[in-house]
Structure 1
Amino acid sequence: MKNITLDGNALRLMAAHLPESVQQMAEIVGWEATASLIARFGGSCFPVPRGLRPGGDERLSLLLEVLTPAQMQRFMHTFGGESSFVIPKCDHARREWRNRLFIRDLQAAITAGESRRMALSYLCPRYGIGNTSAWKIIREYGLSGGDKRESLH
């Protein structure tokens, strides 16, 4: 997916498409901080220190790059000691968000008077999707028959 990132608001809107662990992180540190954790560490195994050993200092400093000290304390209290904690990449949610943005932009182009084919010629590269995938997304959102009522949310 071409440069599709989820900020806190987008992540919250995609909650139904997120793993349970991400929803739990958001309850503990908030949506913006969770989005920052995913952007920085998504897809990696991140052993969460309890803060008791000097060896955890490196990880603590990594967490402090994206969390406030208070958020870090709550995060460590909940997940501390888990040696195989994985911060998900949330590809399913990112893909769904990309599709919603794609449909929003497609609807705007059609409303502005552009043909669907013309809009696809520049929207597909913008969103990093091929023509076949674009038509699949259009069908999934019920827009293949020219219906312009489907909205982003």
Structure 2
Amino acid sequence: MTTQIAQLQSLLPDSIHEVAAVIGMPATLRLVERFGGTTLPLPRGDNIIGRASLAVLAKQIGDDDAQKLAHHCAGEPLYIPRCDVALRRLRDLSICDQFAGAVRTGKTAIKVVAELALANKLTDRWIWKIVKETPPDSSPTTPDLFH
């Protein structure tokens, strides 16, 4: 997932790019996954409460990255956006890939859509909409034979 969402960087908010510049994209994505939509207090760790807060953060991204982020924010709180647009695009691309792969193996489209709806907690109508309307990933998986 990390490499796929990195390809969708244009859909990520600027604040996520800033955090990724400090701690890297994998740690940033772990932050989004765990804390997306919340504001994190980023204390310097000067007192017992600050050290406890940094310890919670370190469980998600590691001690070094937690220290880097706390130093970068200089004790100011940091809002972690949910990155809905990028995550939804990633989900839709994954659904389309799973659909195409399952149909290629001989499963009926109706059966595949039902399975994907259950697996993704979406309606079958929504899965059909995703499969029909999601443009393919911008990065080609096969080389162009004519260029």
Q: Tell me if both proteins adopt one fold, taking TM over 0.5 as the criterion.
A: yes
Aligned partner of 1:112 in structure 2 is 105
Contact 1:103 1:152 in 2 (8 A): no
Superposed, 1:2-151 pairs within 5 Å as 7-83=1-77, 85-141=78-134, 150=136
Cα 1:14–1:55, aligned 2, differ >3 Å: closer, same or farther?
same
CA–CA distance in structure 2, aligned partners of residues 67 and 52 of structure 1: 20
Normalized against structure 2, the TM-score is what? 0.80
Structure 1 letter corresponding to 2:65: Q
Aligned partner of 1:3 in structure 2 is none
CA–CA distance in structure 2, aligned partners of residues 105 and 59 of structure 1: 40
Structure 1 letter corresponding to 2:92: N
Name which of structure 1's ranges 62-71 and 28-37 shifts more when overlaid on structure 2.
62-71
* CA RMSD, 1 decimal: 2.2
Normalized against structure 1, the TM-score is what? 0.77
Shift of 1:54: 4.5
Structure 1 letter corresponding to 2:26: E
Shift of 1:49: 1.5
CA–CA distance in structure 2, aligned partners of residues 68 and 139 of structure 1: 41
Cα 1:11–1:151, aligned 2, differ >3 Å: closer, same or farther?
closer
CA–CA distance in structure 2, aligned partners of residues 111 and 35 of structure 1: 32
Shift of 1:104: 0.2
Contact 1:8 1:33 in 2 (8 A): no
Identity fraction in percent: 27
Contact 2:44 2:70 in 1 (8 A): yes
CA–CA distance in structure 2, aligned partners of residues 74 and 30 of structure 1: 11
Unaligned runs of 5+ in 1: 1-6, 143-149
Structure 2 letter corresponding to 1:116: A
Shift of 1:114: 2.4
- Runs of 4 or more, structure 1, over 6 Å off, are none
More helix by share: 2
Unaligned runs of 5+ in 2: 140-147
Name which of structure 1's ranges 97-106 and 58-67 shifts more when overlaid on structure 2.
58-67
User: How many pairs does the alignment contain?
Assistant: 139
Contact 1:99 1:137 in 2 (8 A): yes
Query: Could you give the per-residue CA deviations for residues 74-127 of structure 1, whole angstroms, max 9, x where no partner exists?
Result: 2122223323x2112222222111111100011012212222222112111112
